Amino acid sequence: MSGRRVATVWYQVSQNTLTVVGLLLITIVVVFAIFAPWIAPANPVSGDLLNTTQPPSSQHLMGTDQFGRDIFSRVVHGARVDLAVAGIVVSVAFVMSVALGALAGFAGRVADELVMRSMDVVFSFPPLILAIGIAVTIQQGGMLSLVVALTVIAIPPMVRITRAEILHRKESLYVEAARAIGSSPLRVLAVHLVPNSLPPLVVQATLTFGYVILETAGLSFIGVGVKPPAPEWGIMVSEGSPYVRTGEWWISLFPGLMIFVTVLGFNLVGNGLLDVLNPRRRRQ
């Protein structure tokens, strides 16, 4: 997309209050992630064992956990971990989906069947169960197995979208016009089909970003994702859960809120983009 088009999209996005709220939420989390060492008042990993399970106070904004670690510092550093995982997963899945979807939609029946039936296999598992399976099988230490598992389950929906867009646009008049001026099939694909198919993928990628954060937290919660003592939100919720019953609600609540806020932010932005990039609204 060119600068001018980005400017148009930005204008239309800014007209929608919910989308702006979503952007704001994402911005907060991104700022946390980038400036974590400066924002966090304490070390996120080493605790003060004399000050365990303290409720929120002016000294510890979100209280401390059972090891006396400052929860606010851990929440801020957690943004790094969760955004990094989601960022890597979504980028890798995006590139692979475009390649696989273009192959399926453009390279003929055999390639199409091969790619799409493989996607069906992935689709036929409940996504989280499959991710657990993959993560446990790889056992390469938390992060890598988590990233691989989440990438595998993020790819199929995006491949389907890419393929559908390519198949639909392959019949369009501008593709025929491109062939008429002598474009090679590869050029038609790279210059006309793929760029014009990207908008719905950008929407899907944004929404996927939210799901991946949720899944990262979910897998870490049950112990197959990021390993403690890393300040990951899912682990923090998990570690705090026994204490909820005894009244120490803050240990789980604040990381849980962060997951909620981040996922909400990406979903709001995704839906806003969906409206803006919808072809029926494009001419406005």
Partner 1 sequence: MNSPLLSVTKLFKYFSSRGQRELRGTPEQLRQDGPVRAVDGVTFEVHSHETFGLVGESGCGKSTLGRCILRLLEPTAGSVAFGDEDVTRAAGQRLRELRRRMQIVFQDAGQSLSPMRTVRATLAEPLRIHGLARGEATETRVLQLLDQVGLEPMHRNRYPHQLSGGQQQRVAIARALATEPDFIVLDEPTSALDSSLKLTVVDLLQHVQDSTGVSYLLISHDLTIVRHTCDRVAVMYLGAIVEIAATAHVFDDALHPYTQALIASIPVPDPFTKRERILLPGEPPSPANIPSGCRFQTRCSFVMDRCRHEEPSLLEAKPGHRVACFLYAEAEREAAPT
Question: Which of 178/201 has CB closer to partner 1?
Answer: 178
- What H or E segment, with its residue span, contains residue 115? helix 109-123
Q: CA–CA separation, 251 vs 78, rounded Å?
A: 14
Q: Which stretch binds partner 1 (CB under 8 A): 26-34, 183-191, 205-213, 234-242?
A: 183-191
Among 2, 58, 124, 246, binds partner 1 (CB under 8 A): 2
What distances in angstroms separate CA 274 from CA 26, 107, 271, 277, one per listed residue? Answer: 17, 28, 5, 5
Residue 187 binding partner 1, by CB under 8 A: yes
State the sign of the Cα–Cα–Cα–Cα dihedral 72, 73, 76, 82. Answer: negative
Residue 179 binding partner 1, by CB under 8 A: yes
Shortest spacing between CB 172 and partner 1, in angstroms: 7
Q: CA–CA separation, 145 vs 282, rounded Å?
A: 40
Question: Which of 12/73 has CB closer to partner 1?
Answer: 12
Residue 280 binding partner 1, by CB under 8 A: no
Residue 178 binding partner 1, by CB under 8 A: yes
Residue 66 binding partner 1, by CB under 8 A: no
Shortest spacing between CB 197 and partner 1, in angstroms: 10
Q: Which stretch binds partner 1 (CB under 8 A): 11-19, 35-43, 148-156, 173-181?
A: 173-181
152 Cβ contact list (under 8 Å, min separation 6): 122, 130, 131, 134
